[in-house]
Amino acid sequence: MKEHKSELAWSHIYWLNMLSTAGSYTAAARRLGVSKGAVSLRIAELEQLAGVALVRRTTRSVRLTEPGMALVNNTQHSFDAIEQGFAGIKELADVPSGVVRVTAAMALGRQKIIPLIAKFLKSYPQIRIEIELSDHLSSLTQEGFDLAIRHTSNVPETHVAWLLRPSKTLLVATPAYLKKNGTPGSPEELSSHNCLTYLRSSAKHTWVFESNQRKKERRSVAIRGNFCANNSEALRELVSAGAGIALLPDFSAQQDVQAARLTHLLPSWKPVGVFGDAIYAIRPYSTHVPRAVRLFVSYLKEALAPA
């Protein structure tokens, strides 16, 4: 190693910080834009220089040893300050630029987010959006995402969340289904209908409704049905074909309700615990949010705001 020890240490300690944040050599390499082998070599060189093991390697992940954690804890603030200072200088440029990596649930992304991106990119041509549509709940830090767009009621305390718009869950069916099978007049009457359910919810066999009246009465109804799916678009396809009654997010059902292709049932009762009550842009807490990320979030808040 021909580099001066102090110069080598700063460079290599930064890579150790990245490894600690990312949680694996593969994720750290992706964030640094280098190979996994390069990261492994840098850490080995740093351990040789320090004279102690800094990383405990397992088959699936890496964990820092006590000396490794102490080194990261003692230097993280300095690297954060450098990163923020450099980011502040970059933001003095007239043209916003950078990459925004986003993950969004499949149905939410396809129906509400993707249609908005072209206009944003036209306004900010130097910004690049990379979006992954998946119903898998990604680890933002380990997988290198800047934002997650989520339809949820619970935001992790370790994350920052921007409210993009509130959301409701609607109970719907086609007029043809209701003509053939009758229209339920209360939550209890749903037990005699074919109910199409969301696979990833605890409400596969029981739906809970809360009254919109002041007393907030709750009723639980045992339901049955011949179809369930882990994607609201699949439920919308089946309910639109007249296969039964389903709970859908308002962003998925509202247009069909307004066009009378679907009927909103039991409007005086609020479904509870199936889908989230708001759409959020979520990001791990950090003292600095890149300008491109702030602009994208601001744009989504304005574009998704209820009319």
Domain extent listing, the chain: 5-82, 98-166+277-304, 169-272
Q: Give the CATH fold of the 98-166+277-304 domain.
A: D-Maltodextrin-Binding Protein; domain 2 (3.40.190)
Residue 7 has pLDDT above 60, yes or no: no
In the prediction, which pLDDT does 213 show?
81
Q: Give the CATH fold of the 169-272 domain.
A: D-Maltodextrin-Binding Protein; domain 2 (3.40.190)
pTM of the model: 0.68
d(CA 145, CA 103): 7
Higher pLDDT, 92 or 235: 235
In the prediction, which pLDDT does 5 show?
55
Per the prediction, the chain carries an average pLDDT of 88
Class of domain 5-82 (CATH, top level): mainly alpha
Give the H/E segment covering residue 197.
Answer: strand 195-198
Residue 3 has pLDDT above 60, yes or no: no
Give the H/E segment covering residue 181.
Answer: helix 175-181
The reply to whether 5-82 and 169-272 are identical in fold is: no
Share of the chain above pLDDT 90, in %: 54
Report pLDDT digits (tens) over 98-141.
999 999 999 999 999 999 999 999 999 999 999 999 877 667 77
